[in-house]
Structure 1
Amino acid sequence: MKQYFKDNKNTLFVAVVIIILLAIVLRMNEIVSFVLTMLEVFNPFFIAIGIAFILNIPMKAIENGLSKISRNNKIVKKFLRPLSIILTLLFAVVILWLLMIIILPRVAESVVYVFNNFSTIVNNSINSVDDILNDLHLGYKLQDIPYIKEIQNISKDQELFKHVITFFGSITQGVVKNAVEFTNTFFSYFLAFCLSIYLLAGKETLIYQTKKVTVALFPKNISTFVFETGSKANVIFKNFVGGQLVDCIIKGVMFYIVFQFLDYRFTELMATIIAVCSIVPVFGPIFAMLICFVLIFSYNPINALWFIIIFQVLSNFEGQVIYPKIVGKTIGLPGIWVLLSIFILGGKFGIAGMLLAVPITALAYELFVEYINSRLKKKKINYELIEEKGED
């Protein structure tokens, strides 16, 4: 019997794989439902990992700074991690407090102004476009379009205000009706936050245990590959997430100073829009530029055109000079892969997909390049033949 299994192990392996695949196909709905349920159950854990990953960036900097200052102080070394976590949380609270006290009131003021003067802004924008079309002698007016007339009518008779009030009223009713769900969501996030603190406090132990389990369950070559991939993923995600957040803050401050110098309206609102939207690569800045353009165009079309030029100049300066210094060269993706990754992952997973598209694709790209290079090395391919350019 043992000899039979030994002689036919490949056939038996293929048969087992086919049976498993058949079971998966036949029970696909149940499997998908089970996976979605498990993802929902572990959702607080995934959120906790995300929070811990972000907080780990300032925590490491604080920890390194404290260890240099304390030197041989045994008491400080003993409480280095708890002290670093407390200081990191205080840093996060201060940032949120500054947002709540300084930035949000000014942004809210601008939003209220735009909302109260929506009719004037719409009419000014349409009239400005019509003036430009008239100067070009095109014989065409924006006001002739039925859809534009409808927007004007809505803004005049304050129907928009009624629609917004109705919309927020429905949201309020929904929150009241789903109070239990809201409480569960709040509890999940609170649990995730507490879990993230635990992950930060014992991250070395967790990493050690994960490595121990990996080495015990898998062969050496697979374990080595997992560790190397994990190390690369950590560097790429850390540089991208941390760098992207710092870059967005710098970008917002930079545009705020320029807007103040040029005496633009809605300065705080536009700087905040640019900073927040810039978190999403490629499409975020474009979306921010369009919103700010409409806001400026509503009261001064010439300034709006100047804004486009200023935005492009500052964005290029930020992209060529500031961004590489902050993020580094680990996100070395060609432009086409950046666009494709954002399109595919953004279309599938929404905003979260767009945020994580670049680092995930960068990791996959780096692993693929390493694999291809190793294959070429094994085949002893002459690189000069590959690099040789063909004729047009």
Structure 2
Amino acid sequence: SRGETNEYKVHFRNRRCCSWLVSGGANDIFGSIFMILSTTFSWFAQAFIAIVFSFLLLFNKKQVVRETKSLLKAYLPEKDYEKTRHVLKLIIRIFTSYVGGTCLECLILASLVTAGSLIMKIPYAFLIGLVVGIGALVPMFGALVAALLCTFFIAITSPVQGFTFIVMFICIQQVEGNFIYPHVVGKSVGFPPMYIIVAITIGANVAGIIGIIIFIPICSCIYQLVSEDVLTRLQKVKEVSD
């Protein structure tokens, strides 16, 4: 009969659900969720510690610089001391310029997204621009993740506007990723734009998100030092040949 058929279907669904729970399907889902949450919390905790440590160094900059100079001068020969001092000055200058260039690039991207959202009449335009700008602190991929998150919340209100926003963002991202970011950040650290992508790729493979963030200034420092060494060697070769 029809009632027996419905009862059989309900019983069959209950059995499938129980077998899925017993087989560990629920554990896999909860395990994945726990892993994602723990990884996210760990990343935010590390970022918070790094920011606090940076502020401590900033507020005690004079003392740190004075003590570092004293240690280097006490334990290094004069020639090595001057070289080490030059390298440290180069690292500080490049990292400072990198932070400034990254903040400028985030501001540009946030302004473009906000302006585009206002033109397309997408809701929460200023909030969307702020979220995408903060996400852009992670080079290349951070802004995309932030945009996908914004798309999800916009789509809850209006799927059409959510689709419009992600299409608009992809267009802006292409211009920003290929032209604005390499030139703004590359010029700020004295690093050719064509090497920016190489540095990001190496950093992602070596240290994940942290590597993506810090490998641009690290590779820029190496590039500057190698360039200086090449010029010095060429100058010596020229003097010998003359």
State the TM-score, normalized to the length of structure 1: 0.42
Q: Confirm whether residue 227 of structure 1 aligns to residue 61 of structure 2.
A: no
Gap change, CA 1:349 and 1:316, over 3 Å in 2: closer
Alpha-carbon deviation of 1:231?
0.8
**Residues 116 and 168 in structure 2, CA contact (< 8 A), matched pair in contact too:** no
- 1:212 corresponds, among 61, 70, 74, to 70
**Residues 282 and 339 in structure 1, CA contact (< 8 A), matched pair in contact too:** no
5+ long unaligned stretches in structure 2: 1-25
Give the letter aligned to residue 69 of structure 2: K
Structure 2 counterpart of 1:249: 107
- 2:230 corresponds, among 325, 350, 372, to 372
Structure 1 counterpart of 2:137: 279
Q: Distance in 1 between matches of 2:118 and 2:165?
A: 13
**Residues 293 and 308 in structure 1, CA contact (< 8 A), matched pair in contact too:** no
Structure 2 counterpart of 1:203: 61
Give the letter aligned to residue 329 of structure 1: K
Q: How does 1:153-302 map to 2 (within 5 A)?
A: 167=30, 171=34, 193=52, 199-265=57-123, 267=125, 270-285=128-143, 298-299=159-160
Gap change, CA 1:287 and 1:372, over 3 Å in 2: farther
Structure 1 counterpart of 2:199: 341
Give the letter aligned to residue 229 of structure 1: V
Alpha-carbon deviation of 1:244?
1.2
Q: Single out whichever of 303-312 and 343-352 deviates more from structure 2.
A: 303-312
Q: Deviations over 1:291-334 (max 9, x none)?
A: 667877942656754554455456678559xx74xx68342323
Q: Confirm whether residue 329 of structure 1 aligns to residue 187 of structure 2.
A: yes
Alpha-carbon deviation of 1:287?
5.1
State the TM-score, normalized to the length of structure 2: 0.63
Structure 1 counterpart of 2:219: 361
5+ long unaligned stretches in structure 1: 1-162, 176-181, 382-392
Residue aligned with 1:358, SS: helix
The count of aligned residue pairs is 201
- Identity across matched positions, percent: 26
Q: Distance in 2 between matches of 1:191 and 1:273?
A: 21
Q: Distance in 1 between matches of 2:135 and 2:192?
A: 22
Structure 2 counterpart of 1:352: 210
Alpha-carbon deviation of 1:360?
0.6
Q: Distance in 2 between matches of 1:244 and 1:191?
A: 17
Q: Deviations over 1:93-145 (max 9, x none)?
A: xxxxxxxxxxxxxxxxxxxxxxxxxxxxxxxxxxxxxxxxxxxxxxxxxxxxx
Alpha-carbon deviation of 1:271?
2.3
Q: Which entry has the higher C-alpha Rg, 1 or 2?
A: 1
Give the letter aligned to residue 299 of structure 1: V
Alpha-carbon deviation of 1:197?
5.8
RMSD over equivalenced CA pairs, Å: 4.2
**Residues 251 and 275 in structure 1, CA contact (< 8 A), matched pair in contact too:** yes
